[in-house]
Structure 1
Amino acid sequence: MEISPKDKFVTVYGRKPVLEALDDPRLDVDKVMLADTARGAAAREILDAAKRRGVRVQRATEQRVKVLAGNGRHDQGVLADVVAPRMLPLDLALEGPEQPRGVLVLDGITTPANVGMILRTATAAGMDGIVVPRRGVASVDPLVVKASAGVAFRAPMLRCATAAEAAANLRAHGYPLFALDAGAEESIYTADLPERAAFVLGSETYGISEDVRPHVTGWLSIPMAAGVESLNVASAAAVLCFEVVRRRQAGR
């Protein structure tokens, strides 16, 4: 299977994010694209930074940069493709010799701060895969990268078109699919969770989407005290991920 560039790179745009990527020796920047209208000190600073790192710079029309950045207001005429070494298409991960054990699926989470924090937390916990669909979820852009404190570049992201596609694919490969719901009778602490399983997180406004619900095999809640009804989705993801990995390490 040929991997699309969208499944190999995290694209950052805007002068400051691009310079930060070029100045970080831990990051492998594949290329910089600069609008042919970009001139002056700002453009020179980017060109100099790219030259120091040995990164190629391509010139393109201002419109082309906007299209590739996926943002019409904040690209400032420049973007950079940063290699994400753990990013893969979901299909490829599921067909590989070592299938991911714990997989998190993001469904309708459109707030960049939440997506970024989930990427940071799930990676820190040790989840094997985080499905970030290309549609219906906030794009992995500089806002997400900032919220992840840079972890987005090395997170085990699995890409596909939609959360529903991911859910169907995971089920076809034998994964049970658990969803978080505050009203679920089964708790994440007491449920029987197999080592190889997928967990879907829905949006705070609408919960699990109608297209994903038919694929859910079990519903789980996080017990709450003091009358608290629910957690922010990023906080819930943190509780879930660390519990899943704790069980794995405990051999349960």
Structure 2
Amino acid sequence: MHEANTAVSPKDRFLTVYGRKPVLEALDDPELRVDKVILADTARGQAAEDIRRAARSAGVPVHRASAHRVKVLAGNGKQDQGVLADVVAPRMRPLGAALRTTPLPGRVLVLDGITTPANVGMILRTATAAGLGGIVVPRRGVAALDPLVVKASAGVAFRAPVLRCGTAAEAADLLTEAGYQLFGLSASRGEPLFDAAVPELAAFVLGGETGGLSAEVAEQMTGWVSIPMPGAVESLNVAAAAAVLCFDLVRRGLPPERARGKGRPSR
């Protein structure tokens, strides 16, 4: 059973940033809402005072925790510098919840096995710029939504329409049940992207940097599309391929939810 628990996990509401500079930047950004800051009880000195002062100015509570607890919450024991912040991501929600809304998110991307943070961040930025209805970022098998992803997205990750679920296979199941047709993006198989008919409810699955789509997900595809490459290049970087795909969808016309004025990020 997928997403049987209707409670929304904090991981589906916040992006966690860690390290002194990223936390200060989040607190100083008037367009971001920080839910809380967690400061290690070993953090002392001017850096800790700067963070406390910025949090007070922004009206954000600061909680103390053990250094070990901060490392566990950050998921990065080498770079957390004893501080993290949970930043509200207003357009991030569980995939199951998005599929219970009207209208449905329209055309979406699904990430399957993309483990390089820079690629995930660039895909979030591109898909958001192109007005796609959502980017499915599974909690497992894909790079965590951490400061490296935020940096690669140039901050757009905070406002991207991220849809969360457990795995890419789970996403494929949920999308199929909701009436989506699933298309795998391939370097060598399937119909050329620019000639393919794209239904209103379409999910494009992007595979990992080296292995492509996982076998469990590949078998659920409705069809495959490829990017024509007349030059002597075997394949594109996954983020570059995502950019071609996203802006071909723009060329075809705005996704339905944006055309009806429903794609503007909440503030």
The TM-score bracket by the shorter chain reads over 0.9
| SS across alignment from 1:22 | helix
Indicate the residue corresponding to 1:169 in structure 2.
174
Question: In the alignment, does 2:219 pair up with 1:221?
Answer: no
CA distance in 1, matches of 2:244, 2:101: 28
Quote how far apart the aligned CAs of 1:244 are: 1.6
Q: Could you tell me the TM-score, scaled by structure 2's length?
A: 0.92
The Cα offsets for residues 100-153 of structure 1, whole Å up to 9 and x where unpaired, read as: 101100000000000000000000000010000111100010000000000000
Partner residue, 1:117? 122
| Aligned equivalent of 1:245 | 250
Equivalence for 1:4: 9
Letter in 1 for 2:37: V
Q: CA deviation at 1:67?
A: 1.1
Aligned to 2:259: none
Query: Which residue does the alignment assign to 1:64?
Result: 69
Measure the CA separation in 2 of the matches of 1:31 and 1:125: 31
- Equivalents in 2 of 1:165, 1:185: separation in Å? 23
**Displacement, 1:64?**
1.0
Deviation beyond 4 Å, 4+ runs, structure 1: none
Q: Does 1:157 align with 2:153?
A: no
3-state SS, counterpart of residue 223 of structure 1: coil
Aligned match of 1:85: 90
Residues 131, 255 of structure 2: 8 Å contact kept: no
User: Match of 1:44, as an amino acid?
Assistant: E
Could you say what secondary structure the match of 1:76 adopts?
coil
Q: Unpaired segments of 5 or more residues in structure 1?
A: none
Q: Is the 8 A contact 2:107 2:255 kept in 1?
A: no
SS in 1 for 2:216: coil
CA contact (8 A) 1:123 1:156 kept: yes
- Unmatched segments (≥5 aa) in structure 2: 1-5, 257-267
2:103 to 98, 101, 123: 98
Residue deviations 1:34-82, cap 9 Å, x none? 0111111110111011111111100011111111111111111100000
Deviations 1:129-183 (A, max 9, x none): 0000111100010000000000000000000011111011101111110011111
CA distance in structure 1 between the partners assigned to 2:14 and 2:175 by the alignment: 23
DSSP-derived class of the 2:191 partner: coil
TM-score (norm 1): 0.97
Tell me how large the CA RMSD over aligned residues is: 1.2
CA contact (8 A) 2:38 2:64 kept: yes
Instruction: Report the number of matched residues.
Output: 251
- The AA in structure 2 aligned to 1:116 is G
The percent of aligned pairs where both chains have the same amino acid is 69
CA contact (8 A) 1:109 1:138 kept: yes
> Which moved further from structure 2: 242-251 or 137-146?
242-251
The answer as to whether partners of 1:195 and 1:248 remain within 8 angstroms in 2 is no
Sort the Cα spacing of 1:187 and 1:42 in 2 relative to 1 into closer, same or farther, 3 A. same
* CA distance in 2: counterparts of 1:149 and 1:250, whole angstroms: 23
* Whole-angstrom CA distance in 2 between matches of 1:250 and 1:154: 18
Q: Please give the alpha-carbon distance, in whole angstroms, between the structure 2 residues aligned to 1:57 and 1:185.
A: 52
